[in-house]
Amino acid sequence: MGDHVKRFLFVDDNAEFLGIVQTILGGIAGKKWEIYTAPNAGMALQIMESKPIDVVIADVHMPVVDGFQFLSLLSRKHPNMTKAVMTSDASEAHRATCLSRGAELLLQKPLAPDEWQGIYTTLNDLARGPTEQGFRGVLRRVGLQDVLQMECLSRNSSVLEVKTRQVQGLIYIEAGQIVHAQIGDRTGEDAFNYLMALAGGEFNLKPFTEPPQKTITGQWEFLLMEAARKRDEENEPPPQPAATSDLPDPFVSPHTQFIPKPAEPKPEPLRPEIAEFVVLSAQGDVLYKWQCEDVNGRIGFLEFLSQRARQISQGLPLGDFERFEVHGSKSRAIAHVDNDHAFFVRTNLTAITAG
């Protein structure tokens, strides 16, 4: 796609913002881009029927059909379309919802003129597709864990450059395995855990080069889990000191004194009760639902799961991935996706009362 003119469609109900997009991004891109705009989802779909669009960029807050619903609609009608979101409300909740409904990334609308160059670079890289190396993102929108998982599952070889205003580090991935990490004087797993604990910054996925040394030999799955565990431990509040009212008996030797452990109550018997149920066709239409208050949310989750299932099947030689289960202490959830249909069922565990 080297000299291919890239076609971008921006969907936003703010006409003034669409004019700014045409002026600023059009000026930066020159003849490399063709920019189309639409004030709503209906007009955007009409443009897509007549023009070969490479990337669709939508706002979140739009009347009638909002950005979340539009992403779900695009995932059903144009499953191979590259999608992004640009909004002034780039919260973590919106990021998670947009990514679950097929968006590649979420961008904050620029607040200053000098930020438009970064928007252009990010979208231009996004339009290159998976055949070209190099991707630019922002950590608060695309997690490092997500990038590393996809690189390792795809058995790629690359170098992940991580930057903040204060530091810059590198993570080397060779044939789907993390082989080296470095940041300042830190190397190996120490550097890897430090980079994974960063709260924000920028990353750039570069073509693979041989690392100066190979300092990591563990499996990438274990490395990610261990980094997450360390990050959670650092964020845990410090333990509260023991109460000082329970003083030891001064007439009992400290070597013989003990406090008997209270008997643990027997777990009460539980039985599952269906809390919600929804069945979808292969096209994403609702065939049946019961007590499902957030149907669009369940559709988005199943679409997200279907996309990730294909990627997992390609990365792991275990056959087709069809079933996803979550077990909690008081509830269970099962999602099933195949070529013909998909369903989501959630059950609650309730106590069995006597009589």
pLDDT of residue 327: 78
Domain termination site, one of 204, 233, 262:
233
pLDDT at 135: 40
> Do 331 and 341 belong to one domain?
yes
pLDDT, tens digit (0-9, with 9 covering 90-100), for 38-70: 999 889 999 998 888 999 999 998 888 888 889
The answer to whether residue 258 is domain-embedded is: no
Domain assignment of residue 245, yes or no: no
Instruction: Work out how many domains the chain is built from and give that number.
Output: 3
Whether residue 128 is found in the same domain as residue 10: yes
The domain boundary, picked from 80, 104, 132, lies at 132
Q: Are residues 116 and 137 in the same domain?
A: no
As to burial, measured by CB atoms within 10 angstroms (0-12 exposed, 13-18 middle, 19+ buried), residue 150 is middle
Indicate if 113 and 144 belong to the same structural domain: no
From 108, 132, 156, give the residue that closes a domain.
132
Integer Cα distance of 203 and 164 in angstroms: 9
Is residue 246 one of the residues assigned to a domain? Answer: no
> What integer pLDDT is reported at residue 297 of this predicted model?
80
Q: What's residue 2's pLDDT?
A: 46
pLDDT at 83 (0 to 100): 92
Radius of gyration (Cα) for the chain, nearest Å? 25
Residue 270: the pLDDT is 62
Mean pLDDT, the chain, rounded, equals 79
Sequence-ordered alpha helix ranges (H) in the chain: 15-29, 41-50, 67-77, 92-100, 116-126, 144-153, 188-196, 220-235, 295-315
What pLDDT score was predicted for residue 6? 92
| Domain range for 303 | 270-351
pTM of this structure: 0.42
pLDDT of residue 132: 40
Q: Does the residue 264 lie in any domain?
A: no
CATH number at residue 46: 3.40.50.2300
In this prediction, the residues of the chain whose per-residue pLDDT falls under 70 are: 1-3, 128-143, 235-272, 282-283, 311, 313-319, 351-355
- State the pLDDT at residue 4: 75
